Amino acid sequence: MKNIVLGMMLLFVAFTTQAQEKKNKNAKHTIEVNGNCEMCKKRIEKAAFSVSGVKSADWHIDDHMLHLIINEEKCSLVDVKKAIAKVGHDTEDVKATEEEYEKLHGCCLYERK
**pTM over cut 0.95:** no
Would you tell me how many other CB atoms lie within 10 Å of the CB of residue 95? Answer: 16
Instruction: From first to last of the 113 residues of the chain, give the pLDDT tens digit.
Output: 666 765 666 666 666 555 456 789 999 999 999 999 999 999 999 999 999 999 999 999 999 999 999 999 999 999 999 999 999 999 999 999 999 999 999 999 999 97
Spatial contact of 21 and 29, defined as CB atoms under 8 Å apart: no
Domains within the chain, CATH numbers bracketed = 23-108 (3.30.70.100)
pLDDT at 47: 98
pLDDT at 16: 58
DSSP notation for 16-32: HHHHSPPPPTTEEEEEE
